Structure 1
Amino acid sequence: MAVLITGGTGFLGSFLARELCDRGERPILMDLRLDLTRLRGYEDRVDLVEGNVTSWADLAEVFKTHEIDAVVHTAADLSLRAERSRIESFRTNVEATLNVLELSRMFDVDRVVFTSSLSVFGLRSMPVSETSFRDPATFYGVTKACSEIVGSYYASSHGLDFSAVRFPIITGPYRRGEGASVTISSLIDSAVLEGKGVVRLPLETRIPLLYVRDAARLLRLLISHNGKLRDIYIVGGVVVSVGELVSSLKRVVPDAIVENEVDDASMRIAGEWAALTELALRERMVERFGRIEDVGWQIEFDSAEKMVKDHVETLKREVGA
């Protein structure tokens, strides 16, 4: 199966590529900058395409050159950048999705899976379900909601097999970028690789987290599933506090120095996530959406301890930290 992953050398895209390679597939990875640091040991097992998903010409060339069976569209600007550069991020997060969908229609692609976010929800979304009112409080959430709607249009009007996966905050090794979600990954990366990490959120902040290996495994199961998929999948994640993550990190890496420097920009975005956390707890989203029976998936990294342990072990194994 020929799978195109947009944002393929990025955080989630690269871990999905690993999942596919481990099962004998050779995915096509398209990215604006081909950063192979997340693909150590997999560099020769993927096809790499440098290009911009907002460019019709760049993306069309990929579809013309490869006989693509499925697309997983992960390329996106994250929350802080989206708030600061709304016009540019709309192009990156929404117009690029339109490009992917139209080319998938033109080239008869079997399936498109879009990585959306729980940030499409808000306080007016209760009770939470796949058909709940979209009420994003961040511009990042707005772009995800827009892309979902465009995808639904292509599904209903053009018969495209489209599914959106509403992820919580995804954490794991090698995550970079501008978003409140990045601070957790950066903390652990820095603590392991440099001996010192900085957490920019209050320790009492509670957030819904999903470990990147669980997220990548779900995407692999969705694109390889033989049956009909649902239009939207909600993934509940595991609600943990920043303090729990720091405590787990100190147990796994006792010598690491962890400093707390609250960042105003991350705090504001984290405040929106905190509201979603309360929503998640009230709506029992962890229990309700911690497994997806359609494809036989459930969360395996179900505690801060498990997430941090694998994160640290991955860095030590691959970077030699």
Structure 2
Amino acid sequence: RVIHFASLLSGGSEDNRDLAWRVNADGAFGLFEAALATGVSSIFFPSSVAAYGSPLPETVPPDQPQWPSGLYGVTKACVERLGVYYHRRFGLDFRCLRLPVVVSRFAPPGAASAYASRCFVEAASSGRFTFHVRPETSPSLIYIKDVLRAIRNLLDAPHKQLTQRIYNLQALSPSAGEICRAINDRIPDARLEFDPDAEVTQLIESWPVRFDDSAARTDWGWSPHFELNSLADDFLGELTDGDADGRRLRGTG
């Protein structure tokens, strides 16, 4: 089994389109071909909310047409189709999750969606953060701990239980303003501001607000454990080391 995470993210893909295509699309094609040549029977691929683009219904069904707004999303949709092709044509056990924006301390600053993670990290470390989206911006989000559990559960699911190769996931859809308030409730003196970037905002607001993940819930028992308040408690608890100001990152002092 191969778990394939290698990818340039949204910002980096727009900055270097040639490299993005070679890494994200050509790299996946090479992996599928190598799997056939070496007898690898299963590949897991994480797709993304970015594989869609506006206009979209409020809740996006699994069969929603995909017209992504950015090259990163284009490559995700491409690899989804490649995976289904290799499953149908060669019997490869391709399994894929369309992940919402992932909230994690490891979110790279170059990702357009990084605000949903960096706001917690920067509030905990420096007490300051500027959102480059509108307070109303509210793409579908998921906490990293729910992501890891979902991947494990999908990989462990018996083949006969799966009704599709690509599954949507839904966890929470707070606005940037709601995230800001959740942080200030826990770090009252954090200076959180909004200075929307038109290009970033347009891209993120083209992504789904909510996914229909009923197939994942039915086929392999998916259910998120974290909503906004429990996410904020857990994430900020991991980021802080218990100092009096409650803001110093673990291992940095």
TM-score, normalising length: structure 1: 0.69
Selected match of 2:225 from 300, 310, 314: 300
Amino acid at match of 2:25: V
Query: Which deviations, in whole Å up to 9, do the C-alpha atoms of 1:211-253 show, x marking residues without a partner?
Result: 1111111111122223343311011231111011000001122
SS, match of residue 98 in structure 2: strand
1:239 aligns with 2:173: yes
Unaligned runs of 5+ in 1: 1-69
> What's the % identity of the aligned pairs?
28
Q: Which residue of 2 aligns with 1:119?
A: 50
Using the TM superposition, give the Cα deviation of residue 209 of structure 1 relative to its aligned residue in structure 2, in angstroms.
0.7
Query: Which deviations, in whole Å up to 9, do the C-alpha atoms of 1:103-126 show, x marking residues without a partner?
Result: 222222232111011332345776
SS, match of residue 44 in structure 2: strand
Selected match of 1:175 from 83, 107, 114: 107
Using the TM superposition, give the Cα deviation of residue 197 of structure 1 relative to its aligned residue in structure 2, in angstroms.
1.9
Amino acid at match of 2:132: R
Q: Which residue of 2 aligns with 1:108?
A: 39
The 8 Å contact of residues 73 and 113 in structure 1, kept in 2 or not, is answered as: yes
Q: Which residue of 1 aligns with 2:13?
A: 82
The 8 Å contact of residues 214 and 300 in structure 1, kept in 2 or not, is answered as: yes
Map residues 276-315 of structure 1 onto 2, 5 A cutoff. Answer: 276-277=208-209, 280=210, 285=211, 288-289=213-214, 292-302=217-227, 304-315=228-239
Amino acid at match of 1:180: A
Selected match of 1:267 from 196, 201, 217: 201
Amino acid at match of 1:237: A
Rounded to whole Å, the distance in 2 between the matches of 1:103 and 1:134 is 27
Structure number with the bigger relative contact order (C-alpha 8 A, sep ≥ 6) is 2
Rounded to whole Å, the distance in 2 between the matches of 1:291 and 1:223 is 12
Rounded to whole Å, the distance in 1 between the matches of 2:2 and 2:117 is 26
Using the TM superposition, give the Cα deviation of residue 175 of structure 1 relative to its aligned residue in structure 2, in angstroms.
1.4
Q: RMSD of the TM alignment (CA)?
A: 2.3
Number of residue pairs aligned between Structure 1 and Structure 2: 242
Rounded to whole Å, the distance in 1 between the matches of 2:194 and 2:55 is 33
Using the TM superposition, give the Cα deviation of residue 172 of structure 1 relative to its aligned residue in structure 2, in angstroms.
2.1
Amino acid at match of 2:226: F
CA 1:290–1:186 in structure 2 vs 1: closer, same or farther (change >3 Å)? Answer: farther
Selected match of 2:88 from 156, 159, 162: 156
Query: Which deviations, in whole Å up to 9, do the C-alpha atoms of 1:36-74 show, x marking residues without a partner?
Result: xxxxxxxxxxxxxxxxxxxxxxxxxxxxxxxxxx22212
Q: Which residue of 2 aligns with 1:140?
A: 72
SS, match of residue 174 in structure 2: strand
Rounded to whole Å, the distance in 2 between the matches of 1:131 and 1:239 is 20
Map residues 192-207 of structure 1 onto 2, 5 A cutoff. Answer: 192-207=124-139
SS, match of residue 197 in structure 1: strand
Using the TM superposition, give the Cα deviation of residue 290 of structure 1 relative to its aligned residue in structure 2, in angstroms.
9.1
Rounded to whole Å, the distance in 2 between the matches of 1:134 and 1:187 is 29
SS, match of residue 307 in structure 1: helix
TM-score, normalising length: structure 2: 0.86
The 8 Å contact of residues 78 and 177 in structure 1, kept in 2 or not, is answered as: no
SS, match of residue 112 in structure 2: coil
Using the TM superposition, give the Cα deviation of residue 128 of structure 1 relative to its aligned residue in structure 2, in angstroms.
4.3
- More displaced 10-residue stretch of structure 1: 288-297 or 129-138: 288-297
Amino acid at match of 1:173: R
Rounded to whole Å, the distance in 2 between the matches of 1:265 and 1:300 is 32
Amino acid at match of 1:314: E
